[in-house]
């Protein structure tokens, strides 16, 4: 590719200035033509140069990521992704015809993502940007991706509009290396040129008005006799028709790609699984007491707060190990049992619901779980979470209690087989040891695929979580 760019530059410039471009091309092909005294690899070199030329044209027209995505298999793409990312950051595509400007291109968005929607511009034409500084955001079905400036310079213009569908390699903006004034985004936004006075032709004089015709007196038309009003009915006044709400009080907003994706997956879950939900209630006294006693020491040693979610995750791990069918999944006519636990945590963000995954969580302690939850939650809220951090997962936990939910029936996250729903902690009168006491109680719900999981297994699963949360010492003794 580099060799061909040098050859092309020499052809355009006319070589050393002594020969024309056509003579240089002719000399180059003559020198590479195989003869009796020359080896055969000279002919192979000419053929290879032709292939490189055609490849260069293809890459310039469709972009490197799209070119690779259309010529490589999915397995090869997974191997090529790291190299492609290195190429994108190390190679700056530009054209010398536009004064040293550089094109900002849509980056590679993931193996399963072919396009996205240009959501918003983070900069304006004329703004000064640094290298790798985000200038726009692209919204995909799963994540939001930044388009970064390839160099430090000034945004000359944007060549795409918000709402456009873009693909990897698509040009978004032109970055000028100089700090000169920026041009307008579109031709339609340019101000119309002022017309010179001498260019204005004399306007034709208006045609003289024709003389008015004499008025003709006409008699006013006689009014027709009105029909008598219908006699009143004994049923009283007729009811008024219902008034539709005025249009100015309604708003129509297009669905975001993330919302479309969530809607599709939830409907697929409802159509695919035999959904059934079972409930139980948990006395949170001991877990809350444990957290209250050790939260300061835990924060001082591990640098992270001790929450209640880690206790439920530990309880879910124990329950999944006791009831492995809940951690399994139906695949065609087979059942796949997973001997590892990857727990997805549902996180609500301003842009929609995302589900980051805690991988191999059965090997983590309380501190590692809390740190991983905080890290993924911050990324999800900021919209910087990657696709790999949301892929997979064998079981999901959703905590609607943070929003005040008292009870719900969560829906399964495909292709998993079950989901645990946590809810608000409410003090309720409970009978403890023959006495009525006020206890902090929480309802928990398990929605499961009844095609795979029987009711007995689902009830025992929830019962195990209840036992661990109500008495965390069971985790230490493994009972």
Q: Which residue has the higher pLDDT, 250 or 417?
A: 417
Distance CA 44, CA 437 (A): 90
Q: What integer is the mean pLDDT of 177-193?
A: 49
Residues 6 or more apart whose Cβ sits within 8 Å of residue 345: 309, 355, 356, 357, 358, 373, 376, 377, 396, 397
Beta bridge partners of 429: 438
Q: Which residue has the higher pLDDT, 464 or 85?
A: 464
The answer on pLDDT for 215 being more than 70 is no
Q: What is the pLDDT of residue 96?
A: 36
Distance CA 391, CA 22 (A): 55
- Asked if 450 is an active-site residue, the reply is yes
Q: Which residue has the higher pLDDT, 56 or 226?
A: 226
The answer on pLDDT for 97 being more than 70 is no
Q: What is the pLDDT of residue 98?
A: 52
pLDDT tens readout for residues 277-290: 999 999 999 999 99
Q: Which of 164, 268, 296, 454 is catalytic?
A: 454
Q: What is the pLDDT of residue 99?
A: 57
Cβ atoms of 448 and 418 closer than 8 Å: yes
Percent share of the chain, pLDDT over 70: 64
- Asked if 454 is an active-site residue, the reply is yes
Q: What is the pLDDT of residue 309?
A: 94
Which of the four pLDDT bands, split at 50, 70 and 90, describes residue 49?
Answer: very low
The answer on pLDDT for 1 being more than 60 is no
The answer on pLDDT for 168 being more than 70 is yes
Distance CA 226, CA 436 (A): 83
Q: How many other CB atoms are found less than 10 A from the CB of residue 416?
A: 23
Q: What is the pLDDT of residue 352?
A: 77
Which of the four pLDDT bands, split at 50, 70 and 90, describes residue 258?
Answer: confident
pLDDT tens readout for residues 339-374: 999 999 998 887 778 899 999 999 999 999 999 999
Distance CA 338, CA 188 (A): 58
What is the token pair recorded at 424?
A: 């608000």
Distance CA 384, CA 381 (A): 8
Percent share of the chain, pLDDT over 90: 37
- Indicate the DSSP class of residue 305: -
Burial profile 229-252: b = 16 or more Cβ within 10 angstroms, e = fewer: eeeeeeeeeeeeeeeeeeeeeeee
Q: What integer is the mean pLDDT of 182-196?
A: 45
The answer on pLDDT for 44 being more than 60 is no
Beta bridge partners of 347: 354
Q: Which residue has the higher pLDDT, 255 or 110?
A: 255
What is the SS3 string spanning 79-104?
HHHHHHHHHHHHCCCEEHHHCCEEEE
Q: Which residue has the higher pLDDT, 478 or 76?
A: 478
Cβ atoms of 166 and 118 closer than 8 Å: yes
Give the residue from 417, 107, 404 showing the smallest Cα distance to 269.
417
Q: What is the pLDDT of residue 235?
A: 55
Residues 6 or more apart whose Cβ sits within 8 Å of residue 330: 336, 417, 449, 451, 452
Backbone angles phi, psi at 60, to 5 degrees: -70, -30
Lowest pLDDT segment from 230-234, 244-248, 328-332: 230-234
Q: What integer is the mean pLDDT of 201-207?
A: 49
Q: Which of 115, 146, 450, 467 is catalytic?
A: 450
Give the residue from 320, 279, 281 showing the smallest Cα distance to 459.
279
Give the residue from 327, 375, 385 showing the smallest Cα distance to 355.
385
Which of the four pLDDT bands, split at 50, 70 and 90, describes residue 10?
Answer: very low
Q: What is the pLDDT of residue 380?
A: 87
pLDDT tens readout for residues 294-314: 999 999 999 999 999 999 999
What are the Cα distances from residue 250, in Å, to 116, 224, 253, 345, 465?
28, 46, 10, 35, 46
At the topology level, CATH places domain 257-477 in: Chloramphenicol Acetyltransferase (3.30.559)
E strands, 400-434, in order: 418-422, 425-432
Q: What is the pLDDT of residue 423?
A: 97
Q: What integer is the mean pLDDT of 232-242?
A: 58
Cβ atoms of 138 and 145 closer than 8 Å: yes
Q: What integer is the mean pLDDT of 97-108?
A: 77
Q: What integer is the mean pLDDT of 216-224?
A: 53
Distance CA 181, CA 155 (A): 9
Distance CA 153, CA 174 (A): 10
Residue 9 burial by Cβ neighbours in a 10 Å radius (0-12, 13-18, 19+): exposed
The answer on pLDDT for 466 being more than 90 is yes
Q: What is the pLDDT of residue 25?
A: 40
Cβ atoms of 475 and 369 closer than 8 Å: no
pTM (whole model) above 0.85: no
Architecture of the CATH domain 63-181 = Beta Barrel (2.40)
Residue 343 burial by Cβ neighbours in a 10 Å radius (0-12, 13-18, 19+): buried
The answer on pLDDT for 46 being more than 80 is no
The domain spans of the chain are: 1-60, 63-181, 257-477
């Amino acid at each position: 590719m580099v060799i061909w760019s040098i050859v092309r530059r020499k052809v355009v410039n006319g070589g050393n200035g002594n020969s024309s471009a056509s003579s240089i091309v002719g000399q180059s092909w003559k020198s590479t033509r195989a003869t009796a005294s020359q080896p055969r690899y000279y002919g192979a070199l000419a053929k290879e140069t032709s292939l490189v030329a055609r490849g260069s044209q293809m890459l310039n027209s469709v972009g490197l990521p799209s070119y690779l995505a259309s010529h490589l298999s999915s397995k090869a793409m997974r191997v090529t992704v790291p190299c492609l990312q290195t190429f994108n950051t190390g190679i700056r595509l530009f054209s010398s015809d536009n004064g040293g400007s550089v094109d900002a291109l849509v980056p590679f968005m993931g193996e399963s993502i072919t396009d996205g929607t240009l959501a918003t511009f983070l900069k304006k034409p004329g703004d000064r940007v640094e290298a790798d500084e985000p200038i726009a955001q692209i919204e995909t079905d799963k994540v939001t991706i930044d388009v970064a400036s390839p160099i430090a310079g000034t945004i000359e213009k944007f060549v795409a509009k918000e709402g456009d569908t873009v693909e990897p390699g698509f040009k978004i903006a032109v970055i000028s290396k100089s700090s000169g004034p920026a041009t307008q985004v579109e031709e339609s936004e340019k101000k119309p040129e002022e017309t010179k006075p001498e260019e204005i032709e004399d306007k034709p004089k208006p045609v003289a008005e024709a003389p008015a015709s004499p008025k003709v007196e006409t008699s006013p038309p006689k009014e027709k006799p009105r029909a008598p009003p219908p006699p009143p009915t004994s049923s009283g006044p007729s009811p008024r028709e219902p008034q539709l709400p005025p249009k100015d009080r309604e708003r129509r907003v297009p669905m975001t790609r993330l919302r479309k994706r969530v809607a599709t997956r939830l409907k697929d879950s409802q159509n695919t699984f035999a959904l059934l939900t079972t409930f139980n209630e948990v006395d949170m006294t001991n877990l809350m007491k444990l957290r209250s006693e050790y939260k300061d020491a835990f924060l001082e040693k591990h640098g992270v707060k001790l929450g209640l979610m880690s206790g439920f995750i530990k309880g879910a791990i124990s329950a999944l190990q006791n009831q492995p069918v809940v951690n399994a999944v139906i695949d065609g006519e087979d059942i796949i049992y997973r001997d590892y636990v990857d727990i997805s945590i549902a996180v609500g963000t301003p842009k929609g619901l995302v589900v980051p995954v805690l991988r191999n969580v059965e090997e983590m302690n309380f501190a590692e779980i809390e740190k991983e939850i905080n890290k993924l939650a911050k990324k999800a809220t900021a919209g910087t979470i990657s696709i790999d951090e949301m892929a997979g997962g064998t079981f999901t936990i959703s905590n609607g209690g943070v929003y005040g939910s008292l009870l719900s029936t969560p829906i399964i996250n495909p292709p998993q087989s079950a989901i645990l729903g946590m809810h608000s902690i409410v003090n309720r009168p409970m009978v403890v040891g023959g006495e009525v006491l006020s206890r902090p109680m929480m309802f928990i719900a398990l929605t499961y695929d009844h095609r795979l999981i029987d009711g007995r297994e689902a009830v025992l699963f929830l019962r195990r979580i209840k036992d661990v949360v109500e008495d965390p010492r069971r985790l230490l003794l493994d009972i």
